[in-house]
Amino acid sequence: MSDLEPKIKAEILAEALPYIQKFHGKTIVIKYGGNAMTEEKLKHGFARDVVLLKLVGMNPVVVHGGGPQIDNALRKVGKSGTFIQGMRITDEETMEVVEWVLGGEVQQDIVMLINQYGGQAVGLTGKDGGLIHARKLQMPDREKPGEFIDLGFVGEITSINPAVVKALQDDAFIPVISPIGFSDDGQAFNINADVVAGEIAKILKAEKLIMMTNIPGVMDKQDNLLTDLTAVEIDHLFADGTISGGMLPKIGSALEAAKSGVNSVHIIDGRIEHSLLLEILTEQPFGTLIRSH
């Protein structure tokens, strides 16, 4: 923005006002992942953006992934990541790595950066305040109807207790949530971060759910960006294989959140600097908007 003429800068700032007013006091859940989490410039830009949203009166809640960081840590212990239908197979050793990478290294990195820019971030896992209760995921096998795939310690959410998140928001803190859930007997489960973000957005009755990814949004088979999708259109994209792999849990969670009362769900390109602010504070359509109908 430093290269822009003062007049253009002023117009951009003025354009933000109605959006600041519209979303003041509203909860915005951000699924933070992809390049935005690994490139230094983008990491710093994201932290500043989140602090700005909080300072102008919005309530950002960050749910982060960490796939590349987990893969790096697994390589160091001589393991490689295996995925089925976009979900990581998680044995006992992998689960230990997931816990210390997501709940430790990655989360603390995000918290420190937000705090460095003047925010007050607090890291949470599913264990904190009984936030995310989970059980072992039974994933249907798409190739063999009626059968299930054993993914190991991969969990599905049974319930979310939003009290700890709400208490932090009320005290001007920014919650940063790792997607690790716990069963009643204390077993940790690796949960897809897109799924956690979607469920958190639903239970907090968020105004927006924003999913940051490494693509411009949802693409058709000719690689054209689909800027606006309804539930029916998404069902067609699932059926014809346009949406596959790692996009399956992402789009599924986005759609579920839209159907459950989250006013708008956006999938945006986290490789673009300040994409979060562009989506929330400007008029231009950015990425893919998902609507329930």
Lowest mean per-residue pLDDT among 16-25, 64-73, 109-118, 139-148 = 139-148
Percentage of the chain with pLDDT > 90?
Answer: 59
In this structure, the number of other CB atoms found within 10 A of the CB of residue 25 comes to 8
d(CA 7, CA 24): 26
- Average pLDDT of the chain? 90
Tokens read off for 93: 């050793």
Average pLDDT value for residue range 93-100: 94
Where is the binding site, in residues? Answer: 66-67, 88, 190
Global pTM reads 0.91
Where is the binding site for substrate, in residues? Answer: 66-67, 88, 190
Residue 118 pLDDT: 97
Q: Where residue 3 falls among pLDDT bands split at 50, 70, 90? A: low
d(CA 253, CA 287): 16
Lowest mean per-residue pLDDT among 101-105, 113-117, 153-157, 169-173 = 169-173
- The residue among 176, 192, 193 whose CA lies nearest residue 119 is 176
Residue 228 pLDDT: 87
Q: Which domains does the chain have, with CATH numbers?
A: 25-290 (3.40.1160.10)
d(CA 27, CA 181): 22
d(CA 231, CA 222): 21
pLDDT digits (tens, 9 = 90+) for 242-251: 887 777 778 8
pLDDT digits (tens, 9 = 90+) for 183-215: 999 999 999 999 999 999 999 999 999 999 888
pLDDT digits (tens, 9 = 90+) for 250-261: 888 888 888 888
- The residue among 10, 17, 34 whose CA lies nearest residue 214 is 34
Average pLDDT value for residue range 258-268: 89
pLDDT digits (tens, 9 = 90+) for 136-156: 998 888 788 888 989 999 999
d(CA 175, CA 61): 5
